[in-house]
Structure 1
Amino acid sequence: MSSANKMVSIITPVYNGEKYIGRTIQSVVNQTYSDWELIIIDDCSTDATSKLVHEASEADRRIKLIKLKVNQGAAAARNAGIKASGGRFIAFLDGDDVWLPGKLETQLDFMLTNEVSFTYSAYYAVKDEIKILRKAPLKITYSATLLNPRIGCLTVIYDTAVLGKVYMPNIRKRQDWATWLSILKAIKETKGITFPLAEYTVRDNSLSSNKFKLIKYNWEVLRLHKPNILPALLYFSCFLVLNTYKAVRERQKFYSLKRKSERLEKY
């Protein structure tokens, strides 16, 4: 891959996303940086997702549709998009999330200026029009990310001219965290942008019970990086305490802000 190539390949997996995919596409079209391709991988949707994406691709040739023949999950869908990509930079944006207009321009300038091959940013978590900032540290290391996966997939960009094409492990959940760990293990640490550049759509089940369903996947990822059982158990215990606390605090914030908003609407 030539380092002169500055095109961004945006990888967007989607499944039954007709409700959100239009605004996701529009947030890419609205970017102030125009050298991109948007690769949308439809993971066997049964709704009008493919039709909407096809119409968008007819209007803008930078938008491309890949239709999987069998539902395989986000990891396989993203990997199909990465394989088909032609850009130097790989970025991720799921089919129900959005970018702020200056996202690509700001982040690419940051990467090139600071000579970093893997970056992320802060972002907003959004539910019922209520936004909560999910902060991002200025610097992050492999060890810190083992305990606290603070990198939002929708904010990540990596440089294939330095790292090559990095594919995600084929697990149903947490494959993005596993990927960031693999990259950080190789490069040791990296820098990110501390202000928000994207908005993540929070679904109802992601605030509570779904966190517990992820436990086995969290353990699976940690075991990949900590093959000895005792260190893995130690990291896993710390991980559970820290991330359960974070999930509860965020849920409380959402419900508190929602109640305030409802009270204001009454007046």
Structure 2
Amino acid sequence: MNSNVSVVIPYYNAAQTLLRALESISKQTRQALEIIIVNDGSNFDELKIIVDEWGGVAKVVDLNGNYGAAYARNVGVSESVGKFVAFLDSDDIWHPDKLELQEELMIRTNAFFSCHGYVFDLKKNKFNSCSKGIKKYLFV
């Protein structure tokens, strides 16, 4: 089942980690509606090689300059068509259930904003919760 979530990835000189981030999107239990990569001044040809190696479909927006991650995210939002937007930094990865669980929560609670937290242990290749001591808030 596809979601109604647009994924926005601000990209700046992250060739070593972008492929891993894209693969974490591919492993979602609910696939994104679209993936938008906003190139914030990096080598466009290098970015294209990474996206081609990944093999999925992504819209790439080239800013032709470096304006910062916040600006790149805003451009990605303006290009998106989904009801929801999920930000993924190019050096991060998602738990495989992230989109499914977060979208279902937002629909069920009519929330306009949500966030999550976990830690991925690269040495053990597994996710760990970081919820100990974190309070849960619901913004509606």
Q: Work out the CA distance in 1 between the residues paired with 2:15 and 2:108.
A: 38
Once the two structures are superposed, the pairs formed by residues 90-169 of structure 1 within 5 Å of their partners are: 90-124=85-119, 129=123, 133-135=129-131, 136-139=134-137
Q: Deviations over 1:88-142 (max 9, x none)?
A: 101110001000111111111111122222111122165x637775434211xxx
The residue type paired with residue 120 of structure 1 is C
The normalised TM-score by structure 1 is 0.45
Report 1 or 2 for greater relative contact order, CA contacts < 8 Å, sequence distance ≥ 6: 2
Q: Work out the CA distance in 2 between the residues paired with 1:49 and 1:12.
A: 12
User: Which structure would you say has the larger Rg?
Assistant: 1
Q: Work out the CA distance in 2 between the residues paired with 1:51 and 1:41.
A: 15
Local SS of the residue matching 1:10: strand
Q: Residue 50 of structure 1: CA displacement?
A: 3.4
Local SS of the residue matching 1:116: coil
Is residue 25–residue 32 contact of structure 2 (8 Å, CA) maintained in 1? Answer: no
The normalised TM-score by structure 2 is 0.82
2:62 to 43, 59, 67: 67
Q: Work out the CA distance in 1 between the residues paired with 2:56 and 2:49.
A: 14
Q: Which has the higher helix share?
A: 1
Report what 2:37 is aligned to.
40
Report what 1:250 is aligned to.
none
- What is the root-mean-square deviation in Å for CA atoms of aligned residues? 2.4
Q: Work out the CA distance in 1 between the residues paired with 2:67 and 2:20.
A: 24
The residue type paired with residue 90 of structure 1 is V
Tell me: CA distance 1:99–1:117, structure 2 relative to 1, closer, same or farther (3 Å).
Answer: same
- 1:49 matched to 2:47: yes
Q: Work out the CA distance in 2 between the residues paired with 1:15 and 1:24.
A: 13
Once the two structures are superposed, the pairs formed by residues 166-177 of structure 1 within 5 Å of their partners are: none
Local SS of the residue matching 2:35: strand
